[in-house]
Amino acid sequence: MRIMRGRFAPSPTGDIHLGNIWTALLAWLQVRSAGGVMVLRMEDLDPGRSRPLYADRLMADMKWLGLDWDEGPDVGGPYAPYSQHERRDLYQAALEQLAADGIVYPCYCTRAELAASAPHSGDTERIYSGTCRRREVAEACKGARQPSLRLVVPPGITSFTDLQAGDVSQDISQEVGDFVVRRSDGVHAYQLAVVVDDAAMEITHVLRGYDLLSSTPRQLLLYRLLGQPAPVFTHVPLLIAPDGHRLSKRQQDLSIACLRAQGVKAEAIIGYLAYKANLIDARQPVKAAELIASFDVSKLQSDPVIVDSHDL
């Protein structure tokens, strides 16, 4: 049997918080309980938002929490480099492969035009009506501005079985439309980069937050078009604050740096998350490594998990 290869792929755009560590811990436990290889990949593709400082702090926070990795930006490994900003040639090569198949086209639509043509309000970023797929439109816009590049999405259902969310199906052409694979500023899209990287790094298992479940059909389409095998997916519930909002990097009180500065111990944070994941019966300090033997992803609840900074 192939050895399991899993990864944690954070974007270093701020100090990591409890929600990031929740995902990191569960991905780490999935790999460690299977005796697999853990990869840390820095998703610092967006030069406007990523900072090397945050990547350094993230690695320090993870180590402090007892979460290690076998391959990563600091330790290297057979699939180096492990930071996306150093892997742009690979994304470009994949894009050229898709373009050679005639399934990529330039899109000159502005944000305002996208908003005006979206069938439902709130869907502005989601469903693309295909304006620039009609070549005359794109020709007429040529030179007006830098285009983004979109993928021609074929009609049809994409299905997969998620280890946590169960059976998932989506007709991407209806629910998303032709999606962006390279932004107008030249930055390759997350959807493309994540597929290129997980394929190149031979990742067999992806465990990540539920918010990315809806991206997975697009990624499966890209695996198919690029002729690559897809990993097994597990999308775990998100952590939310008592007011129902998703934890974000703006909520400083739940950043690991802040908790640590207040004297909260690493074992207390891991114990709190393990309790919320139903991995231990009572809330108590625990080391991440102590959870490996009894890890079982099916113990997770399927609804979002409420956490409160006062608990810590």
How far apart (Å, rounded) are the C-alpha atoms in residues 22 and 68? 14
Contact segment (CB under 6 A) with ligand GLU among 6-14, 96-104, 154-162, 168-176 equals 6-14
| Distance in Å, CB of 212 to ligand GLU, minimum | 5
Helices (H), 52-156: 52-64, 88-100, 111-117, 135-141
Candidates 249, 265, 276, 299; catalytic one: 249
**Distance separating alpha carbons of residues 168 and 161, to the nearest angstrom:** 6
- Taking the mean position of all CA atoms in its chain, how far away is CA 59? 17
208 touches 11 (CB < 8 A): no
The nearer residue to ligand GLU, 8 or 295, going by C-beta atoms, is 8
Whether the CB-CB separation of 254 and 16 falls below 8 Å is answered with: no
Pick one of 80, 99, 165, 212: the residue that binds ligand GLU (CB under 6 A).
212
Distance spanning both ends of the chain, measured CA to CA: 41
Tell me how far apart the alpha carbons of residues 223 and 58 are, in angstroms, rounded to a whole number: 29
- Residue closer to ligand GLU by CB (options 10, 66) is 10
DSSP three-state, residue 212:
helix
Q: Is 265 a catalytic residue?
A: no
Q: Name the residue with tokens 């192939």.
A: 2
Question: Which residue among 10, 14, 66, 147 contacts ligand GLU (CB under 6 A)?
Answer: 10
Among 87, 208, 235, 276, binds ligand GLU (CB under 6 A): 208
Site for ligand GLU in 123-182 (CB under 6 A): none
Q: Which of 4, 6, 9, 15 binds ligand GLU (CB under 6 A)?
A: 9
- Sign of the dihedral defined by the CA atoms of residues 115, 118, 123, 129, in that order: negative
Q: Does 30 bind ligand GLU (CB under 6 A)?
A: no
| Order of all β-strands in the sheet with 180-182 | 104-107, 148-151, 180-182
Alpha-carbon distance 127 to 176, whole Å? 4
Is 43 a binding residue for ligand GLU by CB under 6 A? The answer is yes
Stretch that binds ligand GLU, among 8-16, 129-137, 277-285, 300-308 (CB under 6 A): 8-16
61 in contact with ligand GLU (CB under 6 A): no
Contact (CB, 8 A) for 10 and 20: yes
Q: Of 7 and 147, which has the nearer Cβ to ligand GLU?
A: 7
Cβ proximity to ligand GLU: between 103 and 212 the closer is 212
What is the SS3 assignment for 183? Answer: coil
Kindly state the tokens that stand for 50. 């990523």
Contact pick of 40, 189, 194, 277 for ligand GLU (by CB under 6 A): 194
Please, which residue, 109 or 256, has the CB nearer to ligand GLU? 256
Nearer to ligand GLU, 148 or 191 (CB): 191
Element (H, E) at 159: strand 157-162
CA distance 175 to 312: 40
Q: Which of 11, 30, 50, 204 binds ligand GLU (CB under 6 A)?
A: 11
Q: Which H or E run includes 25?
A: helix 18-33
Q: Nearer Cβ to ligand GLU, position 126 or 287? A: 126
Could you give the string, one character per residue 230-259, with x where binding to ligand GLU holds by CB under 6 A and - elsewhere? ------------------------------
Instruction: Give least dist CB 11 to ligand GLU, A.
Output: 4
Catalytic residues: 249
Binding site for ligand GLU (CB under 6 A): 9-11, 43, 194, 208, 212
